[in-house]
Amino acid sequence: MRQIKEILGQARSIAVVGFSPKDNRPSNMVGRYLIEAGYRVFPVNPGQSEICGLPCYPNLVAIPEPVDIVDIFRRPEEVLPVVEEAIGIGARVVWMQQGIVNHEAAALAEAAGLTVIMDRCLKVEHQLAGL
């Protein structure tokens, strides 16, 4: 828990990969929460141009600013390419949301020096950390 509190306390920007424009989807609820919590949020969804009033990017490489955390809402078998992009853009943390586990992608990220959080909800952990 201390590591998570430290990560969330130091982070300023979060890319939400798989951010849905539908209000009732977990990615949208988490994304909106992160915006309200004061993070600079970058929605990543190739099918959208804007979500929650923010420009939406087709992939991590298209984001014009540094990203601290890459929060992933994708099926486990779709995580590896996202992690490869996260490494390429110099992200510090790869966060796989609750229910998402990909050990191969986690090993790749850790080997590149990124911190990996798997199978945890960023919103829940932020609330538990009391930030």
pLDDT at 116 over 90: yes
Q: Give Dmax (Cα) for the chain.
A: 36
Q: Where are the alpha helices (DSSP H) in the chain?
A: 2-10, 26-36, 79-89, 103-111, 122-129
How many independent structural domains does the chain possess? 1
- According to DSSP, residue 86 is labeled H
* Measured distance CA(38)–CA(63) in Å, rounded: 18
Of the pLDDT bands very low, low, confident and very high (cuts 50, 70, 90), residue 75 is very high
Over range 83-112, report the average pLDDT. Answer: 97
Domain of residue 108 covers 2-129
Of the pLDDT bands very low, low, confident and very high (cuts 50, 70, 90), residue 129 is confident
- According to DSSP, residue 78 is labeled G
Over range 19-44, report the average pLDDT. Answer: 97
* Measured distance CA(115)–CA(106) in Å, rounded: 9
In this prediction, residue 64 carries a pLDDT of 96
Average pLDDT, the chain: 96
What CATH number is given to the structural domain containing 96?
Answer: 3.40.50.720
pLDDT tens, position by position, 34-58: 999 999 999 999 999 999 999 999 9
CA–CA distance from 11 to each of 39, 46, 104 (Å)? 8, 24, 25
- According to DSSP, residue 18 is labeled T
Cβ distance 117 to 14 under 8 Å? no
* Measured distance CA(43)–CA(55) in Å, rounded: 7
What does pTM read for this prediction? 0.95
Other beta carbons within 10 angstroms of residue 78's beta carbon come to: 15
Q: Specify the higher pLDDT residue, 3 or 119.
A: 119
